[in-house]
Structure 1
């Protein structure tokens, strides 16, 4: 399946929630802050001041605002990178696993 076919299939099969929340990113020893702007069961879009590349593995942490609910802790892979005019990157992250 081509990436274009996958993109179409993902849009059709998975609901993307539009959100805007701060996330912590860990890539090796590097810790970054970013903003998650949408989230689905298989991935997310994050804006961050980063220099990541396709295939990079990134841990994403989204804290919960409620003590009764566990936050998101996901191992992800960068599947799309777009350089923004303000120097940040728009990252498409596929969720590989969650703790």
Structure 2
């Protein structure tokens, strides 16, 4: 049994960082500004103004606050969408690759 509240296999790091989300598409790879809320070894949640479809593939760039720590480039797939308020959607992705 796990000793933390949400019973997940990996801890979540709560963040409030600006990130760039690239929607991976055959025709256009559009970029969106978003706010990363949390990050774990297997997933991430971020807020954006418009919803994304389930199973959409995305690339998320998380810049580091320190020049000594490399930025993260995360590739993942949308697995959850929650409308939090007008023009505010919480998007959950499963991480498929980290560079």
Give me the TM-score of the superposition, normalised by structure 1.
0.84
The answer to whether residue 69 in structure 2 is matched with residue 69 in structure 1 is: yes
Structure 1 unaligned blocks of 5 or more: 1-9
CA RMSD of aligned residues (A): 1.4
Moved over 4 A (4+): none
Other-structure match for 2:21: 25
Other-structure match for 1:52: 52
Does the aligned pair in 1 maintain the 2:51–2:91 contact within 8 Å? Answer: no
Does the aligned pair in 2 maintain the 1:25–1:60 contact within 8 Å? Answer: yes
Other-structure match for 1:82: 82
Other-structure match for 2:36: 36
Structure 2 unaligned blocks of 5 or more: 1-5
Does the aligned pair in 2 maintain the 1:76–1:93 contact within 8 Å? Answer: yes
Shift of 1:69: 0.9
Shift of 1:94: 0.7
Shift of 1:11: 3.8
Pairs aligned (count): 90
Which has more helix, going by share of residues? Answer: 1
Greater shift in the superposed pair: 80-89 or 70-79: 80-89
The verdict on how the C-alpha distance between 1:31 and 1:57 changes in structure 2, with shifts beyond 3 A counting, is same
Does the aligned pair in 2 maintain the 1:32–1:50 contact within 8 Å? Answer: no
